[in-house]
Every structure is written in structure tokens, then in C-alpha cells.
Amino acid sequence: MGMQQESVNAEAVWRAAEPCAAEIPRLIAWGVGSSADILCWLATGTDPDKWLVVVWGRGDARWAEYACRMLEFLCRLFRAEFDECPLGDVSLWGVGFTGARARALPVMARLVTPRRAAPAP
């Protein structure tokens, strides 16, 4: 199953978790945890530089919003810099990011930055 289908799944989960919501936000899945958590961009607006990360925690059946972008989220996960692990599986929690991994961060940032939406005609 690809990330496009996971995005559809995320929006269905949002709809089920928030049945009274006036509208479903645009969610773009970029990761799935081994415990079936769904990691998404909350795609509000047309500027992907402003999209925050939201995570559906399958274990506690709730959405959590993180005021950071994908790369910062992953770095904070690897460095255990959140109050608690945002994923149901803790195998990546606090594994560190030093040496060659740390030097690769600028390259990774360019690879994971979502493309800007094309302007409407």
C-alpha cells in the first residue's frame, strides 16, 4: 500500500475521530509506524514550508499535532526531545543523530521538503 492510500486512510480516520468536524483537513501521509501509527503533513494553505506534522496514534486512538516540520520531527524523535515518544513503537526513540547522520541532515532536508503546489490558473 502506498502513501497515497495511506493519505486516504488518514482522512478516513480523521473523519471517524472527529465526526462533528465541519470539514476534513487535507492530510498527506509520509510515514507509517510499525505500530500502525500514521504520520502526516497537515496541508493547510499552499505553502508546504508551513505544514505541520500530525500523527495518528493507533494505540491511544487520537491525533496529535506537532509544531514542527518533518525533518525537525524526525530529529526530535531520534533525540528523544518530545515529552513522550509520539509513536506507539519506541524502537526509534532516542537512537541519536550524530556523526555522518548529522552531516547528512541538510541533504535530507532538501529530499523531504514537499513540492509547492502549482498556482491555480
Question: In the prediction, which pLDDT does 27 show?
Answer: 93
Rounded to two decimals, the pTM is 0.75
**63 - beta bridge partners?**
56
Lowest mean pLDDT of 24-28, 76-80, 87-91, name the range.
87-91
Could you read off the pLDDT of 2-49 as tens digits, one per residue? 889 999 999 998 888 877 777 878 999 999 888 888 999 999 888 888
At 111, the pLDDT band (50, 70, 90 cuts) reads very low
Taking the C-alpha atoms of residue 63 and residue 114, their distance in angstroms, rounded to an integer, is: 21
Taking the C-alpha atoms of residue 18 and residue 12, their distance in angstroms, rounded to an integer, is: 10
User: Does the pLDDT at position 121 exceed 60?
Assistant: no
Q: How far is CA 25 from CA 18, 19, 28, 86, 112, in A?
A: 11, 13, 10, 21, 21
Task: Give the mean pLDDT of 66-77.
Answer: 89
